[in-house]
Structure 1
Amino acid sequence: MHNPDKWKMNSNQQMHSFIKEFSFAAIISHDLNASHLPLLLKEKEGENGTLYGHFARTNHHWKFADGAKVLVIFSGPHAYISPTWYKAAPAVPTWNYSAVHAKGVIQLTDLDTTLKALDETVKKYEANLTIPEGFKSKLSKGIVGFKINIESLQGKDKLGQHRSIEDQLGVTSALSKADNPESQLLYQYMVSKNLGTGS
């Protein structure tokens, strides 16, 4: 990922927080197979954390994935930025976005590990949901669990924080008034990170 210093996330803690918040990712293997899956991060497992998830057994990606090096892309809020929002002129259109890339090796997991990770994933998104054991046992035949030991992490917050205060204020003002959900999500993210907001 092209990642100049001005946009880098500088700690594993920042990138782990991002992964936990935006946990639906694209897993891309060397043969250019890609799967889009929710992943569970265990940040204290391994030097950079470990990701857990599962393939549908009918997704043949898993057949070629065991032991393969993969790139995992987590995407956050993103939106178009108009040059008309800047005080400085002339300027060009751009796109503000955040992303984290994780690289590592996939290992298929045994049934107990897979079911434990599945339970933790369900609990993350719907804590009060209970899946009957018999039904869970039946469903388990249709999935293949895996883990990815993260070897490296890259994080990027390209949020216009390198621009002048006046330009940043113009962008946040426009995003806050936008009527599309992508712009609103980006605005809220920028405010939560206190980046590119002119403050």
Structure 2
Amino acid sequence: MYVPTHFQADDDALVDELIDANSFATLVSQRGGEPFATHLPLLRERRDGRTVLVGHLARANPHWRAFGDATVMAIFQGPHGYVSPRYYVSPNLVPTWNYAAIHCYGRVRIVDDAAQARAILAKMVERYEGDRAGRWTMSLDPDFEAKLVAAIVAFEIDVERVEAKFKLSQNRAPADRRSLLAALDADAGAAELAALTRRVLAPTDERNG
């Protein structure tokens, strides 16, 4: 991913936070010499100081057969939105799109053990059901559950490299950044983008006084 210096993300905790908050990812690899993608949720875990992404896909999906020992890429998309030149005070600017994107690279390890695959399913259910009242749990008929587990392919990705890009107007003048934040704050649909922009720009603005 092309990442200019001023858009590089150097806050690892924020990168992890965005992955967790935007865990519906795009998993990309090569199949038959062409790019192949699957859209799916991936859970981030820390194990012995390393990052592991956990997920599953349908066994009928041919994607998993192409994993092999090649590197795959998981793409996580954070808040994003259109930025009009009207949001700035400086002249001679053009429209753009601000966004946060994270690419995780690593190799896939297929989880063949049925008990471990079920544990991954249960872990994902627990995460996404959350603390809501009447939350659903994996209390299924054993025969049905066995068929369910057999119909999916669970896997783990050992993350070897992370690229994170926060394109949030860091390269604009302080007055333009303040004007941008005011415009985003006034847009109810841009609340997440405004919050992330403010968080990322704060250290730069503090250094600039």
Structure 1-normalised TM-score?
0.88
What secondary structure does 1:100 align onto? strand
**Aligned-residue offset at 1:97:** 0.2
Q: Structure 1 residues 176, 136: CA separation in 2 closer, same or farther (over 3 Å shift)?
A: farther
**Aligned-residue offset at 1:21:** 1.4
Say whether the 8 Å CA contact 1:15–1:153 is kept in structure 2.
no
Structure 2-normalised TM-score?
0.84
Answering whether residue 171 of structure 2 is matched by residue 141 of structure 1, we say no
Between the aligned partners of 2:116 and 2:8, the Cα distance in structure 1 is: 34
Between the aligned partners of 2:153 and 2:68, the Cα distance in structure 1 is: 11
Answering whether residue 167 of structure 2 is matched by residue 158 of structure 1, we say yes
Choose 120-129 or 24-33, whichever is displaced more.
120-129
Answering whether residue 195 of structure 2 is matched by residue 188 of structure 1, we say yes
Partner amino acid for 1:103?
Y
Answering whether residue 121 of structure 2 is matched by residue 114 of structure 1, we say no
Between the aligned partners of 2:87 and 2:14, the Cα distance in structure 1 is: 29
Q: Structure 1 residues 30, 45: CA separation in 2 closer, same or farther (over 3 Å shift)?
A: farther
Q: Structure 1 residues 66, 45: CA separation in 2 closer, same or farther (over 3 Å shift)?
A: farther
Answering whether residue 180 of structure 2 is matched by residue 178 of structure 1, we say no
**Aligned-residue offset at 1:2:** 1.0
Q: 1:14 maps to what in 2?
A: 14
| RMSD across aligned positions (CA) | 2.1
Partner amino acid for 2:183?
A
Between the aligned partners of 1:60 and 1:93, the Cα distance in structure 2 is: 40
Between the aligned partners of 1:70 and 1:186, the Cα distance in structure 2 is: 28
Between the aligned partners of 1:45 and 1:124, the Cα distance in structure 2 is: 21
Q: 1:74 maps to what in 2?
A: 76
**Aligned-residue offset at 1:137:** 2.8
Q: Structure 1 residues 187, 136: CA separation in 2 closer, same or farther (over 3 Å shift)?
A: farther
* Higher CA-based Rg: 2
Q: 1:101 maps to what in 2?
A: 103
Between the aligned partners of 2:205 and 2:184, the Cα distance in structure 1 is: 13
Q: 1:54 maps to what in 2?
A: 56
CA deviation string 1:101-158 (max 9, x = no partner): 0111112112222221221111111133212142433321221111111110011111
CA deviation string 1:146-180 (max 9, x = no partner): 1111110011111112312211122112222225x
Partner amino acid for 2:18?
F
Between the aligned partners of 2:65 and 2:101, the Cα distance in structure 1 is: 28
Q: Structure 1 residues 100, 51: CA separation in 2 closer, same or farther (over 3 Å shift)?
A: same
What secondary structure does 1:16 align onto? helix
Quote the sequence identity (%): 34
Between the aligned partners of 2:118 and 2:69, the Cα distance in structure 1 is: 21
Partner amino acid for 1:116?
A
2:136 alignment partner, one of 119, 129, 144:
129
Say whether the 8 Å CA contact 1:40–1:117 is kept in structure 2.
no
**Aligned-residue offset at 1:46:** 5.7
Q: 2:45 maps to what in 1?
A: 42
